[in-house]
Amino acid sequence: MASVVEIHRVSKTFGTFAALGPVDLEIRAGEIFALLGPNGAGKTTLISIVAGLLRATTGTVRVLGKDVVRDYRDTRRAIGLVPQEINFDPFFSVEEALRFQAGYFGVRLAEERLLELLTALDLLDKRHTGSRALSGGMKRRLLIGKALVHEPKVLFLDEPTAGVDVELRRSLWSYVRTLRDRGTTIVLTTHYLEEAEELADRIGVIDRGRLLVVEEKEALLRRHGAKLLRLVLSGPVAALPPELVRLGARLDEGGGAIVVEATGDATFGAVLAAAAAAGLPPKDVETRRTTLEDVFVQLLAEGHAPAGAGAAARAAAGGPGAGGRP
Ligand SMILES: Nc1ncnc2c1ncn2[C@@H]1O[C@H](COP(=O)(O)OP(=O)(O)OP(=O)(O)O)[C@@H](O)[C@H]1O
Ligand SMILES: [Mg+2]
């Protein structure tokens, strides 16, 4: 599949602080790519570099084959960006904000297109409302509309649904899929892992400026086991017996539970037997499907551990201070 965005050895340093990279990443035509990572990981920095808002310290970025620095005009036209921060002129109405943005790109916003956007973003009845009078979620929806007026080939959504209510979040998801089906390539950051799980074709996990993994969502979930077993203990334990660590188990809930992903039929039985043998009979046993959130927590824990300490990282993944929640 053709690459729409090619990020090559891109790094960013603020003063002496190395915020990003070097990062290599290709975004494929027509995919929804979710870039996930904790606060401060470098997601907005990377997106800003691709969108031409920030200059990389090293490396190059190409969008549709054009360099984002040298061919700035072309790449800017190809990209739509929904920024993380709400930043628009409060004196414009919703319609004016959209028309002004279209004008900025030299596009005439046809009535039909305006209505489509307003409908998709559920802002039809706010068409003439001043943007200052919009609620937080409505402002975010207007930002999405602004990013779409010039029908960009690549759309960057930096936490598009932060503060958006559940119902509208779902309707935005379906609109994002519609855009993808029409050929728009979409790069999304989100702290709602359920959102990435729902939408993404591929996932990238970034932490402290480093890409830890880039993989098809389905493959990533499969690789981490399709099912999760949780043994709730009668009291917290400080460390797992080696036999359980060997089986891929880790502690969760501050040591009050043992969690393990099933990779084969034998795992669950072996874990139950090992827990009993170690004098840790479970008070309760739950199984459920592995979610992207489980995988994310584990990847970050492994990323924080020194190289080669995979097993220890797994054991610590759910422990106190692992701080894997996005
Ligand atoms: N203009 C700047 N000057 C100095 N440091 C910056 C600047 N912009 C970002 N940083 C730092 O770079 C790192 C990455 O920030 P970035 O905004 O890319 O994170 P993020 O992954 O988008 O986080 P979040 O999930 O909170 O939005 C952070 O440590 C941040 O403090
Ligand atoms: Mg950010």
Residue 242 lies in a domain: yes
Residue nearest to atom 26 of ligand 1 (CA): 39
The residue written with tokens 């602004």 in the block is 146
CATH number at residue 232: 3.30.70
Distance 230 CA to ligand 2 centre (A): 32
Tokens of 202: 């591929």
Same structural domain, 40 and 96:
yes
Q: Which of 170, 190, 220 is the last residue of a domain?
A: 220
Residue 238 lies in a domain: yes
Residue 286 lies in a domain: yes
CATH number at residue 15: 3.40.50.300
Residue 105 lies in a domain: yes
Q: Please name the residues in contact with 247: beta carbons below 8 A apart, sequence gap of 6 or more.
A: 260, 267, 270, 271, 274
Residue nearest to atom 8 of ligand 1 (CA): 45
Q: What's the pTM value of the predicted model, to 2 decimals?
A: 0.81
Q: What Å distances lie between residue 56 and 45, 194, 208, CA to CA? A: 9, 31, 16
Same structural domain, 170 and 80:
yes
Range of the domain at 259: 225-316
Same structural domain, 105 and 31:
yes
Q: Which residues make beta-bridge pairs with 262?
A: 227
Residue 325 lies in a domain: no
Please report, in tens digits, the pLDDT of each residue of the chain (326 residues total). Answer: 589 999 999 999 999 999 998 999 999 999 999 999 999 999 999 999 999 999 999 999 999 999 999 999 999 999 999 988 877 777 899 999 999 999 988 889 999 999 999 998 889 999 999 988 988 888 888 998 999 999 999 999 999 888 788 888 888 888 899 899 999 999 999 999 999 999 999 999 999 999 999 999 998 888 876 788 899 999 999 999 999 998 888 898 888 999 888 766 557 888 899 999 999 989 999 888 888 888 888 888 887 665 444 444 444 444 333 333 33
Same structural domain, 177 and 301:
no
Same structural domain, 60 and 166:
yes
The C-alpha atoms of residue 137 and residue 243 are separated, in whole angstroms, by 49
Distance 83 CA to ligand 2 centre (A): 9
Same structural domain, 210 and 251:
no
41 CA: nearest ligand 1 atom:
21
Which of 17, 81, 205, 210 to mutate for ligand 1's pocket (most ligand atoms within 8 Å of CB)? 17
CB of 39 shorter than 6 A to ligand 1: yes
Render 191-233 in DSSP notation, one character per residue.
S-HHHHHHH-SEEEEEETTEEEEEEEHHHHHHHT-SEEEEEE-
Q: Which of 168, 193, 220 is the last residue of a domain?
A: 220
Q: Is 62 helix (H, G, I), strand (E, B) or coil?
A: strand
Same structural domain, 128 and 238:
no
Q: Which of 220, 245, 270 is the last residue of a domain?
A: 220
Contact 257, 232 (CB under 8 A): yes
